[in-house]
Amino acid sequence: MRQWLSNHRRHLHQYPELSLKEARTSQYCQEILKQLGYTIKPSWGHGFTADKFFSKEAKTLAFRADMDALPIQEENTHDYCSKHANIAHMCGHDSHMAIALGTAKIFAEKPPQVNVRFLFQPCEETPPGGALGMIEHGCLDGVDEVYGLHNDPGTPVGTIKTRVGHLMAYADRFELTVTGKGCHAARPQDGLDPIAASCELVSQWQRIVSRFIDPTHPAVVTVGAIHGGDTFNVIPRLVNLKGTVRTFHAENRQKIEHLLETSLTTLQQQGFSTGFYYTKGYDAVINHAIGVQRLAQAAVGILDNENIITNCAPQAWGEDFTYYLQHRPGAFFFLGSGNDEINQPLHSPLFDIDEKCLEIGAKIMAQIAYNYQ
């Protein structure tokens, strides 16, 4: 089983595909599931569901696996590195698919007392994400509970983390264009400098969290990109900024959007023109108590009790698994995938996993179904 999981993970790793382009990835997974006796139904994009019903009267549990990769050039030196330039599974969705395939194999060999459905979802990395499309196409029809996971290289292999309630954040993004008046850098009085104004604005935004948000409510405002000018002796006409906002409370989400937008008034009064675009991304992932309870019980006997963490701190990552949990009870958890040598963060060009996590993830997912009553 370990080699089987590793082989499939490494094949998927070598042939990554970006959001909405997961055609070959989807076909590869479908072929394996057909061989295991699952009924395949196409869904949104390149997504699909795979069903195995053992009893008409039984409940149905769903398990999600995301399929898309990132536009990143892998810098690892394994013999199974990505063969596609500037595309790689640097978030570990290859491992999520391998775990789902492994879980499906376990069920095929030892049927549980419940029916099972696997949701192979495209486009998790690109909002608005693939979960909404999958749901609109009926992937949750007849499903009673839904479960998902994400590998975490910052957590040692052999450990899982989750919590009841807010596990992950509302994940929004914004873009701003500040337009002034370009001029010679030696005569700033002849122009209207959008670089200086943008720097001042970014500093002002850092006070939003510290002075306008309840200090017991986690929140993040990050400017991740600033672009302005092309050379040393010219003040440019415009500057573009991009960033993200992460919150765990809906009221803070609205407040920060409002504060970002109203902060532009001072620039406008100084003569700058602004174009501000705020895009709501994924909602916060909010776990159900029954789902976390089932998950923790399933991990008993697979992991040491002290490595089953059900009160972890919320994480500011975003994840469209939230939409499944808005329609059905269940839970999402972080699966430890790192060790002393494998510890590069998600989205790093050197990201990797300890493949021992594949077997652990498949066992826990399977045990949720075996324990279900």
Helix, strand, or coil here: 335? strand
Stretches where the chain sits below pLDDT 50 are none
Q: Is the Cβ–Cβ distance between 32 and 99 less than 8 Å?
A: no
Query: Helices (H) and strands (E) in the chain — how many of each?
Result: 10, 16
> Would you state the pLDDT for residue 56?
83
Q: Catalogue all structural domains in the chain, each as residue range(s) with its CATH number.
A: 2-168+284-371 (3.40.630.10), 170-282 (3.30.70.360)
Map 12-78 to HEC letters.
HHHCCCCCCCCHHHHHHHHHHHHHCCCEEEECCCCCEEEEECCCCCCCEEEEEEECCCECCCCCCCC
- Dist CA 359 CA 351 (whole Å): 19
* Residues, the chain: 373
Task: Express each pLDDT in 9-66 by its tens digit.
Answer: 999 999 999 999 999 999 999 999 999 999 999 999 999 999 999 888 899 999 999 9
The CA-based dihedral angle spanning residues 337, 93, 172, 153, taken in that order and rounded to the nearest 10 degrees: 10
- Residue 234 near residue 182, CB atoms below 8 Å: yes
Assess contact for 256 and 213: CB atoms under 8 A: yes
Element (H, E) at 136: helix 131-136
